[in-house]
Structure 1
Amino acid sequence: MELQRLLIWICFFFCLGLTVGGVLVFFRQKEKENLPTVRFLQYYLIMMYAFAYYVMWSDVFIRLLFPMEDKAFISKISNFLTLISTPFLLIGLIMLIVWGLRLLKKKSIPLIIMGSMLAVLLIVLPFLLDQHFDVLQHTEQLFALLIIAVVLFSMLQLVFFPIHYFKTRLKILLILILLLSAIVQLPLIFNLLNQAVWELGYIFLFFLVNTGLGVYFVYVGDFPGPKRERQKAISFEDFVEKYGITAREEEVILEIYKGKTNREIADCLFVTVQTIKDHTHRIYQKTEVRNRNQLATLLRGFENT
């Protein structure tokens, strides 16, 4: 019994670490979080984490805390907690569906309809095979079927159409991770988790595969780089306004920028050379440069000169 308790706590803390890691992966990728596909997968993971803690771990800890209670009573409590956690699961699976559809470069309405029909058929399969199928007694199996149906629906879209951010080889690995998240549910459907060790293994794999999906998608996807705001183009008029250049000084600056000498500028503006020198000295003081080369360098930083 003590060994079982130890395994439970070890598995719990591993799952807690996977949860924290999975959430931090998205919050650290600030430049990607505005992409719809990234956001929807993030919402999916958060909802599935909440569902897993609310259903799987609550069931484990209830049996751990009340080992001597009536098993039928414990089973009813477990099924009740599973049912009221339905919103977490449904919202998460809706996010997964939207994520898969947003990944597609083009969509096929017939394929979406066919995938939806197959998913619905898979969900109602227990009711078709067993007319006495009791939802309260088999809630976990029904939810496992629901997860498999949604995952297979999303996979069906990704298999037949090209997707954003992933080339062929990388896309195959993404599909395999999705497939693995469906395969993990099979032991629950076939009621193979009678032993505590197998149940803990199932819970750990659930967290591991879903976290792996998020990490793989964020770090391997070839996402567009962050959009950088274009710096506002600074014109020569802005330069004049910034440094308080007068109209005559403006004319002198333009002639200096053309590479003319003081004599050539004086002849062009019909003033003396000394006047040009005086204007140039005041320009140097206003712009905090020491010579023509520095002034020319400063002007090159301004457009439309």
Structure 2
Amino acid sequence: MVFIFCTAIAVASTLLAHQFITTYNTEFLRNYFYYLVTFFAFAFYGIWGPIIMRVLLSSIALENEIIKAVANFLPVLGVPFLMISWIMLVKMGFSLVGVNAGNKAIGIYFTFLVAVLTAIVGIYFFVDTTGWLFGEQLRNTEIGIFIVLELGYMILFATIVWKYSKKQDRSHQKIINRFVLFMLLALVVRLVVLPFAFSGPWSLAALILVYFMTNFVPLFFLKVNADMVFVPLHAEHPNEGKKEYIFEKYQISKREREIVEQICLGKTNQQIADTLFISHQTVKDHTHRIYTKIGINSRMKLVQMVNG
């Protein structure tokens, strides 16, 4: 049951993040989408994988040490997902505050990664590390390295945002700082839960559910405040002939046409409501009906249809 809830959280978060990139034209939201996809990929592969493997191997009566060795090695195979998520996290820092970092983000990412790996190699050769790569010690080693890297990249993300956020206007800066704070708090919760999640007993499944939920909180906060931070997609080269064709073909009402015109101008739902003197919910209802009539599901597709 908990696995199903975790799957539901992952799917809902991914769909919501995808909805962002089909509504707002921003590099940050694209980076955020890929960050969430790779985060949940690792969560399934690196956390649920060992637990499920323990259950499967236990059913065929293998020795306990073999089961532990296999289960504890599985998270290593999820490392590629983690590495991509950390790259996205650094890129998110720059793109959230509108800074074109170019190759700078990749440079920062690899510099920190090499520094941490160099420190680990140094410890391995100069300190007694007998048993680091076996049994429970392997799990503890993985957790330790993961915590250092995860915490380090999150601090880099927050530092980049706070360094450049002075360029944002006051309302945007407040929202962005709160988002970063939610991301940091989510990480703290994950780092507390992580050692228990890797241990494997099904009695700790609820803690894994918490691990999955952590990234949903900042995502939901961003959804509530997205219109105040990001500019919606708009028709850069609207074709009046195409618009009229769409209006006639799909029997778009007069009010719905007004909504379409406002969407093409790149206005948010609240701005449309203020312009047309209707409620925010009414705008959402009209927009839903427009999408249903045309057979689309996003602002992006509507904009693409009316662009010349």
Q: Tell me, yes or no, whether TM beats 0.5.
A: yes
Residue in structure 1 matching 2:35, options 41, 44, 48: 44
Residue in structure 2 matching 1:144, options 147, 162, 165: 147
Offset of residue 14 of structure 1: 1.5
2:172 alignment counterpart = 167
> What is the rounded CA distance, in whole Å, between the counterparts of 1:77 and 1:86 in structure 2?
16
Cα 1:199–1:150 shift into 2, 3 Å: farther
Percentage identity across paired residues of the two chains? 19
Do structure 1's residue 27 and structure 2's residue 18 form an aligned pair? yes
Offset of residue 223 of structure 1: 0.9
2:96 alignment counterpart = 103
> What is the rounded CA distance, in whole Å, between the counterparts of 1:29 and 1:195 in structure 2?
34
> What is the rounded CA distance, in whole Å, between the counterparts of 1:102 and 1:148 in structure 2?
20
Per-residue CA deviation, residues 59-89 of structure 1 (Å, 9 max, x unaligned), is 1112233345433212221233222222111
**Equivalent AA in structure 2 for residue 13 of structure 1:** I
Offset of residue 181 of structure 1: 3.1
1:226 alignment counterpart = 233
Offset of residue 157 of structure 1: 1.2
> What is the rounded CA distance, in whole Å, between the counterparts of 1:122 and 1:27 in structure 2?
33
> What is the rounded CA distance, in whole Å, between the counterparts of 1:164 and 1:26 in structure 2?
23
> What is the rounded CA distance, in whole Å, between the counterparts of 2:189 and 2:119 in structure 1?
19
Offset of residue 233 of structure 1: 7.5
2:63 alignment counterpart = 70
1:1-305 equivalence runs, <5 A: 10-29=1-20, 31-32=22-23, 34-67=25-58, 69-106=62-99, 131-133=127-129, 134=132, 137=138, 138-162=141-165, 167-187=172-192, 196=201, 199-221=204-226, 222-232=229-239
Residues 44 and 92 of structure 1 are in contact (CA less than 8 Å); yes or no, is this contact kept in structure 2?
A: yes
Offset of residue 189 of structure 1: 7.3
Residues 47 and 92 of structure 1 are in contact (CA less than 8 Å); yes or no, is this contact kept in structure 2?
A: yes
**Equivalent AA in structure 1 for residue 231 of structure 2:** P
Cα 1:33–1:107 shift into 2, 3 Å: closer
SS in 1 for 2:9: helix
Residues 41 and 99 of structure 1 are in contact (CA less than 8 Å); yes or no, is this contact kept in structure 2?
A: yes
Cα 1:50–1:192 shift into 2, 3 Å: closer
> What is the rounded CA distance, in whole Å, between the counterparts of 2:197 and 2:238 in structure 1?
62
189-198 vs 157-166, which deviates more? Answer: 189-198
Cα 1:42–1:11 shift into 2, 3 Å: same
Residues 28 and 92 of structure 2 are in contact (CA less than 8 Å); yes or no, is this contact kept in structure 1?
A: yes
**Equivalent AA in structure 2 for residue 157 of structure 1:** I
2:272 alignment counterpart = none
Which of 1 and 2 has greater Rg? 1
Residues 197 and 207 of structure 2 are in contact (CA less than 8 Å); yes or no, is this contact kept in structure 1?
A: no
Residues 45 and 214 of structure 1 are in contact (CA less than 8 Å); yes or no, is this contact kept in structure 2?
A: no
> What is the rounded CA distance, in whole Å, between the counterparts of 1:188 and 1:120 in structure 2?
27
> What is the rounded CA distance, in whole Å, between the counterparts of 2:108 and 2:82 in structure 1?
23
Residues 51 and 71 of structure 2 are in contact (CA less than 8 Å); yes or no, is this contact kept in structure 1?
A: no
Residues 152 and 182 of structure 1 are in contact (CA less than 8 Å); yes or no, is this contact kept in structure 2?
A: no
> What is the rounded CA distance, in whole Å, between the counterparts of 1:214 and 1:26 in structure 2?
8
Per-residue CA deviation, residues 166-215 of structure 1 (Å, 9 max, x unaligned), is 72332232122221233134336777975837743442222111233333
> What is the rounded CA distance, in whole Å, between the counterparts of 1:86 and 1:96 in structure 2?
15
2:268 alignment counterpart = none
Cα 1:225–1:190 shift into 2, 3 Å: closer
Offset of residue 116 of structure 1: 7.8
Offset of residue 232 of structure 1: 5.0
SS in 1 for 2:182: helix
- Identify, as 1 or 2, the structure richer in helix: 2
**How many equivalent residue pairs?**
224
Cα 1:118–1:191 shift into 2, 3 Å: farther
SS in 2 for 1:54: helix
**Equivalent AA in structure 2 for residue 216 of structure 1:** F
1:4 alignment counterpart = none
